[in-house]
Amino acid sequence: MVELWSVPEDPCDQFGRCGAFGNCDPYTRAGEFECTCLPGFEPKSARDWHLRDGSNGCVRKRVGRTCGNGEGFVEVSRVKVPDTSIATRVNKSLGAKACEELCLNNCSCSGYTAANVSDVVSGCITWHGDMIDTRQYANANGSQDLFIRVDSIELAEHAEVSRRLNGKRMVAVVVASVAAMLFVLFLGYMLVKKRRGRKRQDELLFSPNTTSTTLGASPERKGIDETGTNSDLPFYSLSIIAAATENFSIANKLGEDKEKGSLVDWRKRFEITLGIARGMLYLHQDSRLRIIHRDLKASNVLLDAAMNPKISDFGMARIFGGDQIQANTNRVVGTYGYMSPEYAMEGLFSTKSDVFSFGVLLLEIISGRKNSSYYKENSVNLIGHVWDLWREGRALEAADPSLGESYQAHEVLRCIHIGLLCVQEFANDRPSMSEVAFMLCHETTLSSPTQPAFIFKKANAGAESSSASVGAVSVFDTTITVVEGR
C-alpha cells in the first residue's frame, strides 16, 4: 500500500514562477500577486501580469543606460539567489568590494552576490544575462543579499526612498524615546506625589482616642468607640478639615455662633438646608460608595464666608455595599437627640437613620433652637414642641422670632412638614434623601406625618419610677460611647 503525503503548496516553489528578473514573494497579503520585478525592471507584459501570469518575466525600464552612465547597484535583502547554473561566473578569491568593482566594470553583468551559496561554493558570484528563480524569504536563515545593476535614474530614486524611510525610522525612534522618557518621568512624579500624600496623611490622621479633645469646647461631647473598631473611615479633626477646605472655619460651625445665627434670614437658612440635603443625597446615592454618616448634626456642618454648607466629621461613617440597605451593630455610637430610635435602641442603621438626623437638623434651623432644649410649659423637647404646635394648627409659632418678616408662611410650613416627615418613629415611614431634596425644591403634595419618635416629657426629679409615668427619662442632650445590644 502506498501512502501519499501532501503539504500546502507554495507558489514560489515552482521554478521560474516569475520569469527572468522577477522576484517571487510568498509572504504577500492575501489576494495580492506574489510576483514583483527586481529594481530597475518592469513587467514584460502588463496584461499577463494583471492576469497573475509572471512567466514572461520582466525587462529593463530604460534600455542602454547601464553601461558607463553613472549606474550602480541596489540591494535586495533576504532572497534565494537566482539560478547559478546559467550565465554565472564564480570567483572564490574576491571579497564584497572587489566583487562589486568586477561586476561594475563589465557591462554584461546584471548583478552579483558576495556570500556563501552552498557548502562548496563561496566568494563572488556574478550573473551575465537573465536572473531566473529569485524568491523572497521571511528571515535571514538560508537567504542571501543580492545586488542588482540599475541605471543612474533608478539609483537616485532608490536613494531618495531609502532616505525618506530612514527619516521616518529616525522620527519613530525619537518619538518612542521621548514617550518612554516622559512615561518614566510621569511614573516618578506620581510615585513622589503618592509618597508625599501618604506622609501628609500620616501627619493629619488622628487616633479615635484624641478626636473628642480635638473638637474643642462643643456643647455635645463626641461619642465614639474607644476600641477604634467601629468605623470604616479615618478620623480627622475639625482643624484638619478646616485646613483642607481653606475657607471653612471652626468658628463657623452651624448653630454655634448665636450672634451670626440671628443675622441669617429665611432665604439663607433655606439655602443651607437645601445644601445639606444635596450633600446627604450625594453620600447616599450619587457617590461611588454608599456612605451612612451616622452623626449628622449642627456642629458637623461647616459654613464658609458665603454661608455655603459642607458636611464634615466622617469618623463614625459606614460604607454600604451596592445592594446593602441596612446594617446592625451592638456598639452604638453617636449623639443622642439626632439618633434615630431604631439605631439608639436596637443598633439598626440605614440611610433612613441619616434622614431622621436631617429632620432634627431642619427643625433646629427653622426654630433657632436645639432639639435638646426643653420648654418650661410642658417640658418636652423641640420635636415634641413642634409636633404639638402642628396638631393644634399653630406650626408657624415654631419659627425663629429673629426671622421677622423675611419668610413666606407657606415655605416655612412646608419645611416644618418635611421635617416632621423625616423624624417619624418608623424608618419605613420616612422619605429618602432624594425624596426630601425633591420636596424642598418642588411644590408637591405631602403626606400627613405620623407621631415622631422621642417626644416624651422629662420626668420630675423626685418622681418615682412607675409604669404609669409618661416617658420616665428623656435621652436628649446626652452622648453615648458604647451601648451593648440586647
**Residue appearing with cell numbers 566583487:** 99
Q: How confident is the model over 389-414, as a mean pLDDT?
A: 90
Q: Which of 102-111, 262-271, 331-340, 386-395 has the lowest mean pLDDT?
A: 262-271
Nearest to 74 by CA among 157, 170, 166, 134: 157
Between 229 and 241, where is the model more confident?
241
Domains, the chain, ordered by start: 11-150 (no CATH), 205-480 (1.10.510.10)
Q: What is the pLDDT of residues 276-328, one digit of tens each?
A: 999 999 999 888 888 999 999 999 999 888 888 999 888 888 888 777 778 88
Residue among 25, 130, 151, 295 flagged as catalytic: 295
Nearest to 242 by CA among 281, 278, 209, 216: 216
Show Cβ contacts of residue 406 under 8 Å, excluding neighbours closer than 6 positions. Answer: 265, 266, 267
Kindly report the average pLDDT of the chain as a whole number. Answer: 79
Q: What is the pLDDT at residue 165?
A: 78
Instruction: Work out the pLDDT band at 217, boundaries 50, 70, 90.
Output: very low
| Gap between the Cα atoms of 95 and 376, Å rounded | 118
Pairing of strands 22-24, 134-136: parallel
Q: Is 130 a catalytic residue?
A: no
Instruction: Work out the pLDDT band at 7, boundaries 50, 70, 90.
Output: low
Calculate the CA 123 to chain-centre distance.
63
Pairing of strands 318-320, 290-292: antiparallel
Which H or E run contains 160?
A: helix 152-204
Q: How confident is the model over 395-403, as a mean pLDDT?
A: 91
Instruction: Work out the pLDDT band at 203, boundaries 50, 70, 90.
Output: low
Claim: this prediction has a pTM higher than 0.85? no
Q: What is the pLDDT at residue 85?
A: 81
Q: Which of 110-114, 120-124, 296-300 has the lowest mean pLDDT?
A: 120-124
| Gap between the Cα atoms of 298 and 310, Å rounded | 11
Q: How confident is the model over 199-226, as a mean pLDDT?
A: 42
Signed CA dihedral, 354, 356, 358, 360: sign only: negative
| Gap between the Cα atoms of 45 and 34, Å rounded | 16
Calculate ∠ Cα 173-174-179, nearest 5°.
Answer: 100
Q: What is the pLDDT of residues 58-95, one digit of tens each?
A: 999 988 888 888 899 999 999 998 998 876 888 888 88
Q: What is the pLDDT at residue 252?
A: 61
| Gap between the Cα atoms of 349 and 308, Å rounded | 28
Pairing of strands 124-127, 111-114: antiparallel
- The secondary structure of residue 466, as a DSSP letter, is -
Q: What is the pLDDT at residue 303?
A: 87
Percent residues over pLDDT 70 in the chain = 75
Which H or E run contains 208?
A: helix 208-214
Q: What is the pLDDT at residue 240?
A: 64
Q: How confident is the model over 402-411, as a mean pLDDT?
A: 87
Helix axes 382-391, 409-422, angle to 10 degrees: 120
Amino acid at position 321, single letter: G
Q: What is the pLDDT at residue 456?
A: 59
Nearest to 152 by CA among 48, 269, 71, 50: 71
Between 272 and 207, where is the model more confident?
272
Amino acid at position 208, single letter: P
Are the C-beta atoms of residues 341 and 454 closer than 8 Å to each other?
A: yes
Q: How confident is the model over 8-33, as a mean pLDDT?
A: 87
Q: What is the pLDDT at residue 253?
A: 64
Q: What is the pLDDT of residues 146-187, one digit of tens each?
A: 999 999 999 888 888 878 877 788 888 888 888 999 999 999
Three cell numbers written together for 126? 556574478
pLDDT of 202 over the 60 cut = no
Between 15 and 227, where is the model more confident?
15
E-state strands within 170-325: 290-292, 301-303, 309-311, 318-320
Q: What is the pLDDT of residues 415-433, one digit of tens each?
A: 999 999 999 999 999 999 9
